Amino acid sequence: MAADSDILPSAVEAIGSTPIVDLVRISRTIEGRILAKLEFLNPGFSKKDRIARQIIADAEISGALKPGQTVVELTSGNTGTGLAIVCGIKGYPFVAVMSRGNSVERARMMSALGAEVVLVDQLPDSVPGQVSGGDLALVERKTQKIVAERHAFRADQFQLKGNFRAHYLNTGPEIIRQTGGDIDVFCDFAGTGGSFAGCAAALKEHNPRIKSYIVEPDGAAILAGEPVTYPNHRIQGGGYAMADLPLLDCALIDGYLKVTDQQAIAMARRLAKEEGIFAGFSSGANVAAATELLKTDFKGKTAVVLICDSGLKYLSTDLWDI
Ligand SMILES: Cc1ncc(COP(=O)(O)O)c(C=O)c1O
């Protein structure tokens, strides 16, 4: 019989402690190692479950969130799914506000988990599957309106430290434990920048020689100081071309990498075919970026990336064209 200590009281406690896999097949033709942390194995199939748990826990402790109060957040789907899980278990009504440009799976999943999903139309010149900064501004406006109307707690992933803390306290230390700290570089596709900043801070605290690189879409590399010529890229979950990310401490950034839609898509497909890892666009972007780094400045070194979410979230897109 299993020990009681092996049985978790809810899915919330199943968040985190994800495995790391050595991508030996993908890195076969390059010098160096790519270690991939499988965040799609979280209950909501993304790394964002971690920040949902931390933001709600922090707000309960600070008193910012009252028992039974409604929680609202702007989401590309993954944070909303995490919040739907955490709020559902803890008894907070949850409203997810999302652009209609994100894949339909996400809205269905949040709704199934008990969230009220409010979809916001994209700008007239935007394309489904390609959510721009302008589209996001419309979602932000709607989110603020709902928060005011319902006297809700805004689980603001762009502002609240819980986003950073989830990765600083958990994801980063897990990487150090799982690898023995024997890594050279971390690269991460930024949305809010919370994963990048939290992991990079923990890794550098452990060993200041570990470098961290921001990954951005080619044509929307605003953090690298480049002009934004392609805001409607395909890499869902980030690359919003927002110059100011409150959670992103620039002192943690050692360099910038750019990935095209085609590179992200091709690598997501390779992850599935060659490594048995069924992930989304941004995971493909992270691995593509790591591959480029190992071919150049970090030849022979070890890179770590997050596999941000599951490929199941993109079944309605052409990522998995057959
Ligand atoms: C699939 C996916 N990849 C990457 C990111 C970016 O992560 P972060 O907001 O921690 O920068 C997100 C954020 O929502 C995401 O959903």
The set of residues, in sequence order, having a beta carbon less than 8 Å from that of 269 and lying 6+ positions away, is 284, 319, 320
pTM metric for this prediction = 0.95
Q: Which residues line ligand 1 (CB under 6 A)?
A: 46, 48, 76, 78-79, 189-196, 237-238, 280, 282, 308-309
* Cα(197)–Cα(188) distance, integer angstroms: 9
Beta bridge partner(s), residue 187: 213
Q: What are phi and psi of 175, to 5 degrees?
A: -60, -45
pLDDT tens-place string over residues 269-290: 999 999 999 999 999 999 999 9
The pLDDT assigned to 170 comes to 98
* Cα(227)–Cα(231) distance, integer angstroms: 10
- Output the average pLDDT for the chain: 95
Assess whether pLDDT exceeds 60 at residue 1.
Answer: no
- Within 13 Å of residue 216, how many CA atoms lie on the same side as its CB? 26
- Residues 288 and 267 sit within 8 Å (Cβ to Cβ): yes
pLDDT tens-place string over residues 90-126: 999 999 999 998 878 889 999 999 999 999 999 998 8
CA of 125 to the centre of ligand 1 (A): 24
pLDDT tens-place string over residues 300-312: 999 999 999 999 9
The pLDDT assigned to 131 comes to 79
> CA torsion sign, 282 to 284 to 285 to 287?
positive
Mutate to test the pocket of ligand 1, among 46, 83, 110, 233 (most ligand atoms within 8 A of CB): 46
pLDDT tens-place string over residues 156-180: 999 999 999 999 999 999 999 999 9
**Ligand 1 closest atom vs CA 167:** 10
Assess whether pLDDT exceeds 90 at residue 183.
Answer: yes
**Ligand 1 closest atom vs CA 280:** 1
Assess whether pLDDT exceeds 60 at residue 2.
Answer: no
Token code pair at residue 62: 């600070």
Beta bridge partner(s), residue 34: 303
- E strands, the chain, are 20-22, 33-38, 71-74, 94-99, 116-120, 153-154, 185-189, 211-217, 255-259, 302-307
- Residues 76 and 105 sit within 8 Å (Cβ to Cβ): no
- Residues 194 and 164 sit within 8 Å (Cβ to Cβ): yes
The pLDDT assigned to 232 comes to 85
**Ligand 1 closest atom vs CA 193:** 11
What is the SS3 assignment for 257? strand
- Beta strands 211-217 and 255-259: pairing type? parallel
Closest residue CA from atom 14 of ligand 1: 237
* Cα(139)–Cα(116) distance, integer angstroms: 15
- Beta strands 94-99 and 71-74: pairing type? parallel
**Any idea which residues carry the catalytic annotation?**
48, 282
CA of 2 to the centre of ligand 1 (A): 36
Mutate to test the pocket of ligand 1, among 186, 259, 308, 317 (most ligand atoms within 8 A of CB): 308
CA of 287 to the centre of ligand 1 (A): 14
Token code pair at residue 196: 């990048």
Assess whether pLDDT exceeds 80 at residue 5.
Answer: no
